């Protein structure tokens, strides 16, 4: 029962992110980019309080929730087809699972250092891995064989990076913008990490 708050928080984060990813924020982002990083905060708090094995259980609960969300999304038709395509489902699930498990391992190795080092470094590495895996699997033209019927030509249209840099496929700009938000939130999350950790430890004590 001690993991229930973490499991519920992770499930809520995954559900919210799956819903908010459908809504654009500006030209390069969705609202889901701002909620998804909370998953790393939940994982790191669980890891600090109860250890790596407990954190992995919370991650698996989030992964299971994500699978359910993807299955539901494949059955909901939008303007251009299912809200969740096979490639998006594979990319989302694999990115979440691998990134969160890497986060757990790095955090565990750094847990004896300064209080901020483990959550910051683990989240930075996890976020980078998450972004790279998801956007590559979901949108790269090199992986079109994963779902031949899914037209990702729109994501591979070449444009200046974030509207101002070198010419790259659109999905690369989307990935860079997403990663930038995750990097910023990794630093911002240190504040709630410290505050929530103190309250939870006081409650446990």
pTM of the model: 0.93
Encode pLDDT of 131-180 as tens digits: 999 999 999 999 999 999 888 999 999 999 998 889 999 999 999 999 99
Structure tokens at 63: 């992964």
Encode pLDDT of 79-127 as tens digits: 767 888 999 999 999 999 999 999 999 999 999 989 999 999 999 999 9
CB atoms within 10 A of CB 80: 9
pLDDT at position 27, please? 87
pLDDT at position 204, please? 54
CA distance 188 to 54: 24
Identify the band that residue 74 occupies on the pLDDT scale cut at 50, 70 and 90: confident
Question: What percent of the chain has pLDDT above 70?
Answer: 98
Taking alpha carbons only, the member of 39, 14, 19 closest to residue 30 is 19
Distances from the Cα of 145 to the Cαs of 92, 137, 141, in angstroms? 17, 11, 9
pLDDT at residue 31 greater than cutoff 80? yes
Q: At 168, which helix (H) or strand (E)?
A: strand 167-169
Domain ranges of the chain: 4-204
Alpha helices in the chain, H assignment, sequence order = 4-20, 32-35, 38-50, 52-74, 86-110, 117-139, 170-188, 190-204
Is residue 95 a contact partner of residue 47, using CB atoms and an 8 Å limit? no
Taking alpha carbons only, the member of 10, 4, 1 closest to residue 38 is 10
pLDDT at residue 205 greater than cutoff 50? no
Encode pLDDT of 18-28 as tens digits: 889 888 888 89
Is residue 155 a contact partner of residue 112, using CB atoms and an 8 Å limit? no
Q: Which fold has domain 4-204?
A: Arp2/3 complex 21 kDa subunit ARPC3 (1.10.1760)
pLDDT at position 73, please? 87
Is residue 200 a contact partner of residue 45, using CB atoms and an 8 Å limit? yes
How far is C-alpha 39 from the geometric centre of its chain's CA atoms? 7
Question: What percent of the chain has pLDDT above 90?
Answer: 79
pLDDT at residue 1 greater than cutoff 70? yes
Identify the band that residue 203 occupies on the pLDDT scale cut at 50, 70 and 90: low
Structure tokens at 153: 């030509």
């Amino acid at each position: 029962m001690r993991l229930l708050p973490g499991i519920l928080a992770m499930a809520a984060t995954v559900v919210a992110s799956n819903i908010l990813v459908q809504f654009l924020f500006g030209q390069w982002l969705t609202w889901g980019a701002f909620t998804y990083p909370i998953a790393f905060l939940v994982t790191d708090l669980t890891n600090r309080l109860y250890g790596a094995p407990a954190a992995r259980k919370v991650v698996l609960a989030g992964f299971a929730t994500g699978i359910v969300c993807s299955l539901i999304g494949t059955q909901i038709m939008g303007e251009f087809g299912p809200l969740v395509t096979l490639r998006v489902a594979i990319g989302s699930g694999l990115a979440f699972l691998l990134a969160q498990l890497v986060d757990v391992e790095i955090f565990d190795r750094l847990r004896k250092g300064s209080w901020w080092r483990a959550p910051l470094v683990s989240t930075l590495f996890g976020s980078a891995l998450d972004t790279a895996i998801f956007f590559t699997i979901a949108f790269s033209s090199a992986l079109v064989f994963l779902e031949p019927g899914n037209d990702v030509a729109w994501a591979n249209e070449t444009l200046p990076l974030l509207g101002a840099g070198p010419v790259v496929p659109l999905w690369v700009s989307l990935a860079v913008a997403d990663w930038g938000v995750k990097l910023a939130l990794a630093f911002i999350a240190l504040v709630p990490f410290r505050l929530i950790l103190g309250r939870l430890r006081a409650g446990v004590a």
